[in-house]
Every structure is written in C-alpha cells, then in structure tokens.
Amino acid sequence: MQREGPPLEALTRRLAETPGDFLAEPRIGKLGSVNVAAVVADLMLDLGAQPLDDPQVGAFTSADPRKDRNRLSLTLITAWLLRDDTLKAALAGASPAERQASLLGVLTANVRELAELTQAPRFVADPDRREELVRFALKGLALRPAGESVEQAQDRLATLNTAERQRVIVAARAAEERARAVREAMARKAAEEAAAKYNRE
C-alpha cells in the first residue's frame, strides 16, 4: 500500500454503477450466461498483463453451482471494478508478469475470502461492502486510496473487514463459552464442598 492509487469515491461509484452484464449469472456447467474465465482473460489483455494459462483459466470455471456461484459472481463484479482506467494507469509501471500476479491475487484469494461471508450483490448495493471490496482490491494491487496515509488505509480496511469481524465474533463466543464452563465448574465444586461439609456435620 505504499503507492497512492485513485480516489476511493470514484471506485465505489463505479461499483454502484456495475452494469447488468457483470451481474448476470456466471456460467457453471450448462447453467448461467457469462463465461467468467473469458471475462478475466479479456481483463488481463486490457490491463497489459500476461495471458492466462490453462490452470489459471481453470480457477474461473466450475461445475458446482452450490459451491462456486457466489465466488464467480463476485469475480465478475471485481473484474468490472479492476477495469477502471485509473487503476490501469496506476499499474503502468509494472511488468506484464507483475500485473498478472497482482490481478490474479485480487481475483482469486481476495474474492474467495470475501465471497465466503457475503453475497456478491451486496458489494454493489451496500456502501460499506463496496468500500470493503475497493479497499481489498487496492491492497492487492499494492495501492492505497488517494489522500490517505498507509496507516489510515490499513485502519479503515481493518474496520470494514468482514472476515476479521467474523473471526472476532467467533473468538468472543469461544471465550464466553470457556468462561461459562469455568463458572459452572466452580459452582459444582462449591456445591460438592458444601454437601461434603454438611455430611461431616
């Protein structure tokens, strides 16, 4: 996040205006209408990255709609975001291989993490989720929003990070469960000691 990227507002507005073609059903087996691998391959060419090889193409195809529909839907939305001209300009100094590596990182690992917890349409409809997706994409491209320091960008991403929030909630529940178990164990022990004392008397 050392390099300054485009303004956050311009990218969140782009997400809010995602065209219907990028919101259509991804092709999974014989279902759906949009070939996600073809969209990603075109994106790589448009942004001056290396073309996809066969294993990379395979990351954007699926035969299991229950497992991959949301991930592939979010991949389409993210591809629309990444095609922004300001991001293309921000990548101008990178080699084709570097561009491909950073773009694929956003379109695979980042998208997978976000798609596990949130339905893809929310990244278009919900302002906080739009900002979360933009910030994840910028971080994946080693950029930060224009006008923000590295610390500001990291803090805001941490605040919006759905996966991190989920981890905190799970950890808090686990801590509460442990505390409850300790309280119950202490209450049982106190009752046993009281019963033993009563029996001695």
Burial 161-189 (b: 16+ CB within 10 A, else e): bbeeeeeeeeeeeeeeeeeeeeeeeeeee
The number of helix segments (H) and strand segments (E) in the chain equals: 11, 2
Query: What pLDDT digit, counting tens, does each position of 81-131 carry?
Result: 999 999 999 988 889 999 999 999 999 999 999 999 899 999 999 999 999
Q: What is the mean pLDDT of residues 155-182?
A: 67
Q: What is the pLDDT of residue 41?
A: 96
> What global pTM score does this model have?
0.79
Domain-wise residue ranges, the chain: 3-153, 161-201
CA angle 19, 46, 100 (to 5 degrees): 110
pLDDT higher than threshold 90 for residue 191: no
pLDDT higher than threshold 90 for residue 2: no
3-state secondary structure of 23: coil
d(CA 201, CA 199): 5
- Tell me which residue of 2, 71, 5, 58 sits closest to 32, measured CA to CA: 71
Region at 64 (left for phi over 0; alpha for psi -120 to 50; beta for the rest)? beta
Query: What pLDDT digit, counting tens, does each position of 11-63 carry?
Result: 999 999 999 999 999 999 888 999 999 999 999 999 999 999 999 999 999 87
Phi, psi at 93, each rounded to 5°: -80, -10
